[in-house]
């Protein structure tokens, strides 16, 4: 059994924070020029740079909701739907300007009035539920909290997602993200990650989660995992290839597999990215893909941070973002809650 450390919890949540805050500078841009982005990152990691007027970079909905997931699990030592829903609602109404999805705000308004915390989410999109990536973007604390028991983790992750997202694609996207964070956390650090094995094991889990799906359903996460493997096999894979094959949008199925690909690709150097810190590289590459940059960078960051740990969080980069002390303390309290749960 691997020895999981509090520094991995810190790495996970701090890298998620970095991805959100830096990614938010580019959210919605269809293309992000590699060279400009590399110049920005060189500046951001340079203590002497004159970027001070730009900082602190503010976090968005991704981190705001992640905070609530973590705080609710810490306080209750288990998942409590009403409590987590209340946390989402009060966080949103205290700070509504953090770039929430267009439709999820209707859920928050309705949650104030109903007693069933799952009802408003079920009513979204004429009853089909949201397939946005808002469930997956905030799920890392649930993966850390329940990493010792996969079934328990998947159960908590599904429930935590269904407070706002009930569409199969939204829920299963959060489950894939949780599994990826758990796997990165538990990976043997004495040898490099074998991407093929990593993906094969995730595919086994997702096959079982998607067992009721039509075999040739194109939008299955099982199929996406095969696409990730193909892209990793080709050393000439470009930003455009990745976006074409996996997407970079606000839908869970067009961003969660993308984030996983970004993590695995960023284990090695990437042409056009100067920085050799693997966590910073992960975040930079996620942003280079454009689209929902904050959310893809936060998800890729969470996986990378759980694997690489606090020692690979660039302190200068971290100095530029809002909420770093709070998130580091949150990681400590989440780690303590695991030991007591
Ligand atoms: P959400 O649940 O409001 O979903 C986001 C959007 O996805 C909706 O507004 C719809 O346009 C679309 N959508 C989701 N489900 C369906 C469906 N069943 N049928 C048709 N359309 C659907 O919000 P969320 O919490 O999932 O957030 C997702 C993303 O939006 C996050 O990146 C978040 O940061 C936010 N956001 C994104 C951008 C951007 O430009 N990429 C900008 C601001 C906010
Ligand atoms: Mg956001
Ligand atoms: Mg946003
Ligand atoms: Mg986003």
* pLDDT at residue 214, as a whole number: 75
CA 73 to chain centre: 17
Distance between CA atoms of residues 120 and 242, nearest Å? 34
Atom of ligand 1 nearest to the CA of 295: 32
* pLDDT at residue 54, as a whole number: 65
Nearest CA to ligand 1 atom 30: 101
Ligand nearest to the CA of 62: 2
Atom of ligand 1 nearest to the CA of 65: 25
Q: What is the DSSP string of 281-314?
A: HHHHHHHHT-SSHHHHHHHHHHHHHHHH-GGGS-
Query: Is any atom of ligand 1 closer than 6 Å to the C-beta of 167?
Result: yes
* Closest CA relative to residue 272, chosen from 284, 260, 258, 261: 284
pTM listed for this prediction: 0.97
Ligand nearest to the CA of 248: 1
- What's the gap in Å between 24 CA and the centre of ligand 3? 7
* pLDDT at residue 145, as a whole number: 98
Query: Is any atom of ligand 1 closer than 6 Å to the C-beta of 20?
Result: no
Ligand nearest to the CA of 27: 1
- What's the gap in Å between 120 CA and the centre of ligand 2? 21
* Closest CA relative to residue 121, chosen from 160, 66, 68, 175: 160
* pLDDT at residue 219, as a whole number: 80
Q: What is the DSSP string of 193-221?
A: --HHHHHHHHHHHHHHHTTTS-TT-TT-H
Which positions of the chain have pLDDT values less than 50? none
Distance between CA atoms of residues 148 and 221, nearest Å? 23
* Closest CA relative to residue 279, chosen from 293, 257, 295, 298: 298
Query: Is any atom of ligand 1 closer than 6 Å to the C-beta of 134?
Result: yes
Query: Is any atom of ligand 1 closer than 6 Å to the C-beta of 125?
Result: yes
Question: Which uninterrupted H or E stretch holds 55?
Answer: none
Nearest CA to ligand 1 atom 17: 130
- What's the gap in Å between 104 CA and the centre of ligand 1? 8
Q: What is the ipTM of this complex?
A: 0.95
Query: Is any atom of ligand 1 closer than 6 Å to the C-beta of 249?
Result: no
Q: What is the DSSP letter of 321?
A: B
Question: pLDDT for 96-123, tens place per residue?
Answer: 999 999 999 999 999 999 999 999 999 9
CA distances from 24 to 53, 151, 195, 286, 297 (A): 17, 33, 28, 12, 9
Atom of ligand 1 nearest to the CA of 132: 26
Q: Tell how many helices (H) and how many strands (E) occur in the chain.
A: 17, 0
* pLDDT at residue 334, as a whole number: 98
* pLDDT at residue 213, as a whole number: 86
Atom of ligand 1 nearest to the CA of 105: 3
- What's the gap in Å between 215 CA and the centre of ligand 4? 31
Atom of ligand 1 nearest to the CA of 107: 2
Query: Is any atom of ligand 1 closer than 6 Å to the C-beta of 91?
Result: no
Atom of ligand 1 nearest to the CA of 61: 34
Sequence length of the chain is 341
């Amino acid at each position: 059994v691997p020895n999981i450390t509090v520094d991995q919890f810190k790495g996970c949540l701090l890298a998620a924070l970095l991805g959100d805050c830096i990614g938010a500078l580019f959210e919605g841009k269809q293309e992000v020029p590699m060279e400009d982005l590399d110049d920005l990152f060189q500046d951001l990691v340079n203590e002497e740079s004159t970027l001070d007027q730009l900082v602190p970079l503010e976090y968005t909905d991704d981190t705001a909701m992640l905070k609530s997931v973590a705080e609710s699990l810490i306080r209750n030592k288990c998942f409590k739907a009403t409590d987590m829903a209340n946390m989402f609602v009060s966080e949103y109404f205290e700070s509504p300007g953090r770039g929430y999805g267009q439709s999820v705000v209707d859920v928050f308004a309705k949650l104030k009035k109903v007693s069933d915390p799952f009802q408003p989410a079920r009513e979204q999109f004429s009853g089909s539920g949201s397939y946005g990536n808002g469930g997956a973007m905030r799920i890392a604390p649930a993966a850390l909290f329940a990493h010792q028991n996969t079934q328990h983790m998947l159960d908590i992750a599904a429930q935590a997602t269904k407070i706002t997202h009930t569409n199969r694609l939204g829920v299963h996207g959060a489950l894939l993200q949780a599994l990826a964070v758990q796997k990165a956390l538990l990976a043997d650090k004495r040898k490099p990650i074998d991407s093929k094995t990593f993906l094969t094991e995730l595919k086994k889990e997702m096959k079982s989660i998607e067992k009721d799906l039509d075999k040739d359903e194109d939008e299955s996460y099982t199929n996406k995992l095969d696409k990730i493997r193909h892209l990793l096999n080709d050393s000439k894979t470009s930003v455009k290839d990745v976006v074409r094959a996996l997407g970079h949008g606000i839908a869970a199925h067009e961003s969660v597999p993308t984030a996983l690909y970004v993590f695995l690709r960023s284990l090695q150097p990437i042409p056009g990215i100067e920085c050799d810190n693997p966590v910073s590289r992960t975040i930079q590459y996620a942003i280079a893909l454009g689209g929902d940059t904050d959310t893809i960078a936060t998800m890729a960051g969470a996986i990378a941070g759980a694997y690489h740990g606090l020692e690979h969080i660039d302190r200068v980069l971290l100095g530029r973002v809002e909420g770093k002390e709070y998130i580091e303390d949150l990681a400590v309290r989440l780690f303590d809650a695991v030991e007591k749960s």
